[in-house]
Structure 1
Amino acid sequence: MTTESSGVIEDARPAGPASSPTTAGTEQLPDGVSPALYNGDLAPTKREGRRWHSYNIFTLWANDVHSLGNYAFAIGLFALGLGGWQILVALGLGGVFLFLLLNLSGFMGEKTGVPFPVMSRISFGIRGAQVPALVRGAVAIAWFGIQTYLASVVLRIMIVALIPSSASWDTNNVLGLSTLGWISFVTLWIVQVIIVSYGMEMIRKYEAFAGPIILITMVALAVWMLSEADWTIAWSTPDTVSGGEMWAKIIGGASLWVAIYGTFVLNFCDFTRNAKSKGSIVRGNFFGIPLNMLLFGGIVIVLAGAQFRVDGRIIESPSDIVETVPNTLLLVLACLALLILTVAVNMMANFVAPIYALCNLFPKKLNFRRSALVSAVIGLVILPWNLYNTPAVITYFLGGLGALLGPLFGIVMADYWITRRQKINVPALFTESPDGEYFYQNGVNLRAVAAFVPTAGAALLMAFVPAFGVVAEYSWFIGAGLGAVVYLLVADRHRQFNDVSGEAIAVVSTH
């Protein structure tokens, strides 16, 4: 089979005896695996040669935690009446929860070496796994387009700062974007397609490059803003709450913080399938989640508190501050850093998931590079700026799909950790034999479906019915908990579970 590494096509045939080629005639498959379930990107990765160390896991979070969307969320807590120390507590609690959940999810990838769509075959069956994979992929593709659009807004600011006359290109409207808007969006779209076309190894290198830049830039921006406020900040606003209401908002904020990562905890194995060890995951998560989130919280407090001290205004995003930077060179450098950040976040959170989902859907036709191009094209043709500017789409379509992620997480985790106790027959994940361990009934585990349908319905009710607004902040936890409990009630505990390594059909990790 062929895989992409540094732009050079290399031979990476899976270990084990070769049998029949795929329809493309370019891959030799190990005995017993089905071409409808297996290709070089879905195959388990060999343990030897895995390249994701603690630093690589850490830089995932160094980028993602400091995303513009996260800053907007955390600054929103300031606007809702939480002061500085309350925001730190909310983010700290959320960080501890995420650290635990991400380790559970990450260990699954490290053990099996497979991406999320293949992992889903364990609990949902070799065909039923398409449901969780496509739900996760659909959410990601939409947000890929939206995040690219938000980054293009920053690029437009930078272009106008460098070429003031280009402001005249920003006055017309073509399908919802100006000429300058189209230039900015397509430029960033092409950059991301080029990076991801070189595979997960290039994503790993880009994340490692971007992480330190983002941390240095955000700290520098906070120091500059602090100097503008005469080295003092407002730790609270006149609307700051206290007592029981304060603690309710703190816990609610922590829960929402976890919900933001509800997508990522589901498919974290897409990255940890290339991790050197469980220790690498734990160390990377520890420095990247709880500790990094406290740093993030400190920056949020300084940015929001300093701006409030200056003019009594609560900003919505760091980009609001960047626009006010008086020095053109510094403004351009800040914009570049925000662009590097947004591209890094987009690739890890919104590009990888649909790539593997499409590989899983059409393994005979699509590899990582082709799936990346298909995902990117979809992210373009949906005109994501129009989605972003349509609250009903964000609320009902993306919000509805997002609500389903909690029950899916609960079912997958309960099946792996409690029902099976980590006993996974990895080669059986790639066979269509009716005797296969994950064939269930025509490839679908009806018990998982029976657990998912009612819990998904409950999650949607909590997301959209006003009467459930009091628990809306905790909907991800409630959905995940319900999914786990209902699945454990209906799961078949009398099956024999086998623990079989996937090394015999594994490929050398080029990721």
Structure 2
Amino acid sequence: MSTEMTEPVDVVSTVKDSGFVPSPELYNADLAPTKREGRRWNAYSIFTLWANDVHSLGNYGFALGLFAAGGLGGWQILLALGLGGAFLFLLLNLSGFMGEKTGVPFPVMSRISFGIRGAQVPALIRGIVAIAWFGVQTYLASVVLRVMIVALAPSAGTLDTNDFLGLSTLGWISFVGLWIIQVFIVSYGMEMIRKYEAFAGPVILITMVALAAWMLNKADWSIAWTAPDAKTGGAMWAKIIGAASLWVAIYGTFVLNFCDFTRSAKSKGSIVRGNFVGIPLNMLLFGGIVVVLAGGQFKIDGKVITSVSDIVETVPNTFLLVLACLALLILTVAVNLMANFVAPIYALSNLFPKVLNFRRAGVVSAVIGLVILPWNLYDSPAVIDYFLGGLGALLGPLFGIVMADYWLVRRGKINVLDLFSMDENGDYHYSKGVNPRAVLAFVVTAIVALLLAFVPAFKVVADFSWFIGAGLGAVVYLVVADRQGPFRDVSGEEIAVASAH
């Protein structure tokens, strides 16, 4: 491992040839802008993020639910996912371009609209949600690992009968084993994550296509295209549009901090190409697999499946069953790394830049994800719905405020150097480091977002809550924002570090 990834950076020596010296309270090697030369994330790197994340087990559960309980048939599911994919393509490009231009991660990007101190609020909200889900997803993957272990060594089932803090001995072995693997990968920085995603992407695509082909063969190469209790007319179209909106909301966390990855993108073209293949096209492939799995099983025996595991469990060959479980484990780790591990690492590094680099922040995040005993969170609907659901509802307003400030108020003109300056005259110092206009817009729209999430009377618009929150956040911020400027466009290249992690 390189020295840059394991040791704190000497700020003065890093910028010894520059007239500008960043504040050590705001700057370290992981928060610093990335140099343009040597960036390694190309279109394939971006695509493999989506090759993994789109095909996550949670997404399959959501899409299969459209057939099982949503009353949507084959073409309706494809249309809903296609519409959602088109929206996401636009939103992710807007978010991704910000990272490519500035070279900074989301907590630093938040300083633009919220101030050098106020940025801790959106960064920590995103980080807390991610840490909790990191633990939960690791637990869900450990359940798959337990099934695989018992299939290979039936005697191991004796280790699955006791209970200590909510898990059996085998449960602890499975959870801690996956926890260690993820910490090991993250300890080698973003470059190792990029390589793992590149490896995992083709594995899961091949596995899911093979599973769909196997299902087609079982169903004599024809499927049921109509769902049980199929919706028609206005109810059908409302469900399609609502499903498309929820599909976007699922990615509400990721569109917020996509710049964590695109800060190392080679060009805007790489982002567009990677997003196009990885989002609209890949989502249609995903939708096709969902339709085949759900429609095929329904045609065979009238059974309505709700998860991929329902299919995997029917694989008659132990060897193939183990291979399928391995692929699902590889997938879950890949999704967890990108969606739930990177965000809290940057949030913690932003909170304590003098002491926490990428590796140390990763260990701290992982330890928190362990000590919260996430299986107990997962088994508590109140925690999932009210705590994580409430925090998740705030991500829409945050997205709207950050995007409106960057694209509509500043027109993409950013003084990257001042993002790392404690100078009271700095562009992002505002009032003691906090932009009260952004805070006001956030508080107002956060209240609305929470009402939409939890008040039963608003259930009719619940499917559209992310869009409402994001749109309202943007509108309110545009009303109160300072449009006078002047807004300066200053590159951060002179304090940038090599994009090697």
| TM-score bracket for the superposition, by shorter chain length | over 0.9
Give the letter aligned to residue 218 of structure 2: E
Query: What TM-score, normalized by structure 2, do the two folds share?
Result: 0.97
Contact 1:307 1:313 in 2 (8 A): yes
CA, structure 1 residues 321+505, in 2 after alignment: closer, same or farther (shift >3 Å)? same
Give the letter aligned to residue 318 of structure 1: V
Contact 1:12 1:508 in 2 (8 A): no
Query: Is structure 2 residue 280 aligned with structure 1 residue 279?
Result: no
Aligned position for 1:388: 378
Aligned length: 499
CA, structure 1 residues 227+410, in 2 after alignment: closer, same or farther (shift >3 Å)? same
Query: Is structure 2 residue 262 aligned with structure 1 residue 262?
Result: no
Residue in structure 2 matching 1:101, options 74, 83, 91: 91
- In 1, the alpha carbon distance for the partners of 2:410 and 2:374 equals 41
Contact 2:414 2:489 in 1 (8 A): yes
- Measured against aligned partners, the alpha-carbon deviations of 1:282-307 in whole angstroms (never above 9, x if no partner) come to 00000000000000000000111111
- In 2, the alpha carbon distance for the partners of 1:476 and 1:310 equals 38
Contact 2:7 2:357 in 1 (8 A): no
Contact 2:11 2:24 in 1 (8 A): no
- Measured against aligned partners, the alpha-carbon deviations of 1:365-392 in whole angstroms (never above 9, x if no partner) come to 1000000000000000111111111111
Secondary structure of 2:292's aligned partner = helix
Structure 1: gaps (5+ residues): 20-28
Residue in structure 1 matching 2:416, options 392, 415, 426: 426
Query: Is structure 2 residue 202 aligned with structure 1 residue 199?
Result: no
Aligned position for 2:65: 76
- Measured against aligned partners, the alpha-carbon deviations of 1:78-99 in whole angstroms (never above 9, x if no partner) come to 1210000000000000000000
Please report how far the alpha carbon of residue 32 of structure 1 lies from its aligned counterpart in structure 2 after TM superposition: 2.7
Structure 2: gaps (5+ residues): none
Secondary structure of 1:402's aligned partner = helix
- In 2, the alpha carbon distance for the partners of 1:12 and 1:98 equals 39
Aligned position for 2:56: 67
Contact 1:34 1:430 in 2 (8 A): yes
Please report how far the alpha carbon of residue 14 of structure 1 lies from its aligned counterpart in structure 2 after TM superposition: 8.6
Please report how far the alpha carbon of residue 250 of structure 1 lies from its aligned counterpart in structure 2 after TM superposition: 0.2
- In 2, the alpha carbon distance for the partners of 1:355 and 1:298 equals 35
Please report how far the alpha carbon of residue 15 of structure 1 lies from its aligned counterpart in structure 2 after TM superposition: 8.4
Contact 1:16 1:505 in 2 (8 A): yes
Please report how far the alpha carbon of residue 2 of structure 1 lies from its aligned counterpart in structure 2 after TM superposition: 3.8
Secondary structure of 1:265's aligned partner = helix
Aligned position for 1:182: 172
Q: Percent of pairs identical after alignment?
A: 79
Residue in structure 1 matching 2:328, options 328, 335, 338: 338
Aligned position for 2:354: 364
Residue in structure 2 matching 1:229, options 195, 219, 223: 219
Contact 2:8 2:354 in 1 (8 A): no
1:43-442 matches, within 5 Å, as: 43-79=32-68, 80-442=70-432
Contact 1:270 1:353 in 2 (8 A): yes
Secondary structure of 1:509's aligned partner = coil
Aligned position for 1:443: 433
- In 2, the alpha carbon distance for the partners of 1:120 and 1:283 equals 26
- Measured against aligned partners, the alpha-carbon deviations of 1:217-273 in whole angstroms (never above 9, x if no partner) come to 000011111212222211123301010000000000000000000000000000000
Aligned position for 1:510: 500
Secondary structure of 1:18's aligned partner = coil
- Measured against aligned partners, the alpha-carbon deviations of 1:91-131 in whole angstroms (never above 9, x if no partner) come to 00000000000000000000000000000000000000000
CA, structure 1 residues 2+35, in 2 after alignment: closer, same or farther (shift >3 Å)? farther
Contact 1:15 1:506 in 2 (8 A): no
- In 2, the alpha carbon distance for the partners of 1:326 and 1:14 equals 63
CA, structure 1 residues 453+10, in 2 after alignment: closer, same or farther (shift >3 Å)? closer
Q: Which runs of 4+ in 1 moved over 3 A?
A: 8-17
RMSD: 1.6
Contact 1:14 1:508 in 2 (8 A): no
Residue in structure 1 matching 2:16, options 7, 18, 31: 18
Query: Is structure 2 residue 33 aligned with structure 1 residue 35?
Result: no
Contact 1:94 1:254 in 2 (8 A): yes
- In 2, the alpha carbon distance for the partners of 1:10 and 1:266 equals 27
Secondary structure of 1:3's aligned partner = helix
- In 2, the alpha carbon distance for the partners of 1:17 and 1:406 equals 37
Secondary structure of 2:4's aligned partner = strand
Please report how far the alpha carbon of residue 202 of structure 1 lies from its aligned counterpart in structure 2 after TM superposition: 0.1
- In 2, the alpha carbon distance for the partners of 1:298 and 1:221 equals 12
Of 308-317 and 425-434, the range deviating more from structure 2: 308-317
Please report how far the alpha carbon of residue 176 of structure 1 lies from its aligned counterpart in structure 2 after TM superposition: 1.0
Please report how far the alpha carbon of residue 309 of structure 1 lies from its aligned counterpart in structure 2 after TM superposition: 1.5
